[in-house]
Chain A
Amino acid sequence: MSPASPPVRRVKRRKRGVSGWVVLALVAGVGLLMLFPFWIALINAFKPAPDYIANGPVSLPTELDFSALVDFWGGVDFNRKLLNSVVISGSVALIAVTLSLLSAFAIGIGRIRGRIWILALFMLAFTIPQEALVYPLFVLTRDLGLYDTMTGVIIILAVLQSAFGTYMLSSVLGTFPPEVLEAARLDGASRFQVLRLVVLPLTRPTMAVLMTFFFIWTWNDFFLPLVLLPSADNQTVSVALGALSGQYTSDPTALAAASLAGILPALVFFLLFQRTLMRGVNLGAVK
């Protein structure tokens, strides 16, 4: 019996092997298609314009020419946009996570009355289209002197994102082991001490996921920053890029350079946070 089975197995495996490689080639081909726009932006951002006109977008650059990238970077003061994006995204992530934790503590651990309705309201806050809030927010920020300030956008985005965070964290804290909380209370811990010394350390991984997501969402956010931060000095990376879609159309390599400038920070976040991102995608979808 045993001498007979290995050959059978081997034949079967080899047979699978051929179709296996075909399938691998197919899924890898789709993967290449997904990556193609990134590649094409990369090679053309460094291509001299005459080279592009002569050889088209597919060929590799004959020489490395940084002028398109340098022109774009200086032209829109990209350093400034990067700094604005970092400040806004970082503050939003920190504030939103803090707000989420506080609210979720009351809902998930404190089990306050009417929490289902409160959660439903919070859910409404992050599903409601921003178009249904934007004009009043425009009017209110103008009246409060927060229009065209980063502070205004930070407050608004932090609240909107904390609605999602509260929703997520409440269900995580709802399953928090009661024995741990009981033990802490017996040791005489106050509510705030329970939050800071027991709940916070134990939910740190979830908080890290939320923080990463808040940061990246804010970085990518377009609509509210577009409306509420009109001046070039306050613009974020996303808005700066979205606003130039009508410009540079006569210069074939300028848009590639602009795209690359927008891709680079996103790529850095991706490499830094890949695992967190994958975990977070599922946290949002299935939990």
Chain B
Amino acid sequence: MPSTNTVTLNTATHAVTPRKGTSERRGGYWWYILPGAVGFLAVVAVPFGMNLWYSLTSWRGVGDPVFIGFENYQRLLGDPLFWASFRHSVAFIVAMAILPTAIGVLVAAVLFNYISPKFGSKVASFLRATYYLPQILPIAVAGVLWKWMYQPQYGIINTTLRDLGLGGLAQNWLGDSDLAIYAVMNVLVWLQIGYTVVVFMSGLSRVDPALYEAAELDGASWSQQFRTITLNQLRPEIAVVLITTSVAALKVFAPIFVLTRGGPGTSTIVPAYFSFSSFFTTTKVGYGAAVASVLALMISVVAVALLRYQTRNSEGFDDGRP
């Protein structure tokens, strides 16, 4: 009895009520998105709108903002500091996106296709964990650690150089305006490699081993297999990693705050630090808001590229219905 009942019910829902049922059901789901929507409004939408408003004003954080139109943006375009900060962003894209991706693909391929079959997957995943370890550190901790290692008098880098009789190579790594940006880039590469290695290794685990076996039979060398199979098969991962890490590089703040505070002079200033110091050090709130808005625009452009790439590549995520 109950079982036949269920069957009839089942056909009934399918046959009779699909349109009415779904529209009623969909309406009810709006309650579930309400908390998230309220949070989004209060923490993202309204503040972002306020930031846009501030960027059109002259305001020192006290008193009332004075509307000045696009003057802040015009001044930005003529501000060498603004251009310097974005030039440094390019350097950090190299340090956080391009170099770690290049190194990560190579290391992941070596670990997955070479070390793992020869020495076992345990050895490979142990090595993967050692590369990943810097990723778990709060960036502030990593910054303190490296600042100490870069210290000109007693830091490990200079003391080691002196012990090796290479004292002439010792430098004031973070205090020299020509070197500081490379010193910071070095820390960021160290931080980022683990992320790319982990992503690319898991990407390789979905590659059909038959591809490599066939290449092996054809007598393809390891480097030929790397170029023709590995790089091709990892293309989606490489694209996603490059975009997400570039976004992260545009946002970089904590390493700059801890290691150099934008200095010496302005040799390591980045947009995020530029707007932060406009807000809280020089209290040019309107100007800082304009910098932050430009940064938000640039990041959104990169993020939209990511979104389009991902929706194009993931089926089942959405069926195209409105």
Q: Which residues of A contact B (CB under 8 A)?
A: 16-17, 20, 23-24, 27-28, 30-32, 34-35, 37-38, 40-41, 52-53, 56-58, 99-100, 102-103, 105-107, 109-116, 118, 120-125, 127-140, 155-156, 158-160, 162-163, 166, 171, 174-175, 182, 186, 191, 195, 216, 219-220, 222-223, 226-227, 237-239, 241-242, 244-245, 249, 252, 255-256, 258-259, 262-263, 266-267, 269-270, 274, 277-278, 281-282, 284-287
Contacts of A105 in B (CB 8 A): 29, 32
Q: Give 23 A-B contacts (CB < 8 Å), ordered by A residue.
A: A17-B118, A23-B114, A24-B123, A100-B36, A103-B32, A106-B29, A106-B33, A127-B247, A129-B299, A131-B271, A132-B289, A132-B295, A133-B47, A166-B36, A171-B317, A174-B317, A175-B316, A195-B32, A222-B138, A222-B139, A238-B141, A241-B144, A286-B203
Q: How far is the CA of A242 from the CA of B145 in the complex (A)?
A: 10
Whether A133 touches B144, Cβ cut-off 8 Å, given contacts A106-B33, A285-B199, is no
Instruction: Decide if the interface of chain A is mainly helix, strand, loop or mixed.
Output: helix
**Shortest CB distance B26–A (Å):** 6
Please state if B303 and A127 are interface contacts (CB–CB under 8 Å): yes
CA distance A100 to B160 in the complex (A): 50
CB-based contact A285/B258 at 8 Å: no
Residues of A contacting B9 in the complex (Cβ-Cβ under 8 angstroms): 186
User: Given the known A-B contacts A37-B149, A116-B318, A286-B240, are A137 and B36 also in contact in the complex, defined by CB atoms under 8 Å?
Assistant: no
Inter-chain contact A222/B51, CB cutoff 8 Å? no
Contacts of A285 in B (CB 8 A): 199, 237, 240-241, 244
Do residues A107 and B33 form an inter-chain contact, with CB atoms below 8 A? yes
On whether the beta carbons of A56 and B272 are closer than 8 Å, the reply is no
Given A40-B156, A122-B40, A255-B147, A267:B257 Cβ within 8 A: no
Residues of A within 8 A of B159 (CB): 56-58
Of B44, B51, B318, which one neighbours A159 at CB under 8 angstroms?
Answer: B44
Find out whether the CB atom of A241 lies under 8 angstroms from the CB atom of B36.
Answer: no
Specify the chain B residue showing the minimal Cβ separation from A125: B44
B184 within 8 A of A: no
Chain B hits for A56, CB < 8 A: 154, 156, 159-160, 163
Contact size range, B: 35 or more
Q: For window 145-169 of chain B, which residues contact chain A by CB distance below 8 Å? A: 145-149, 151, 154-156, 159-160, 163
List of A residues within 8 angstroms of B29 by Cβ = 105-106, 109-112, 191
Q: Which of A110, A158, A166 has the most CB of B within 10 A?
A: A110
- Interface 9-mer from B90-98, B189-197, B224-232: B189-197
- Known contacts A135-B289, A282-B198: does B138 contact A129 (CB below 8 Å)? no
Which residues of B sit under 8 angstroms from A245, Cβ to Cβ? 140, 143-144, 147, 257-259
List residues of chain A with CB within 8 A of the CB of B138: 219-220, 222, 237-238, 241, 262, 266
* Residue from the list B37, B140, B307 in contact with A123, Cβ < 8 A: B307
Residues on A with C-beta less than 8 A from B147 are 245, 255
Chain B residues with Cβ under 8 A from A123's Cβ? 303, 307
A286 touches B237 (CB 8 A): yes
Residues B262-298 near A (CB distance < 8 A)? 271-272, 275-276, 279-280, 285, 288-289, 291-293, 295-296
Taking A263-B137, A278-B198 as given, write out 4 further A-B residue pairs in contact, using a Cβ cutoff of 8 Å, ordered by the A residue number.
A111-B321, A128-B44, A131-B253, A131-B288
Question: Given that A102-B36, A136-B50 are known contacts, is A131 also in contact with B133, CB under 8 Å in the complex?
Answer: no
Contact of A220 among B111, B137, B317 (CB under 8 A): B137
Chain B stretch 171-211: residues in CB contact (< 8 A) with chain A: 190, 193-195, 198-199, 202-203
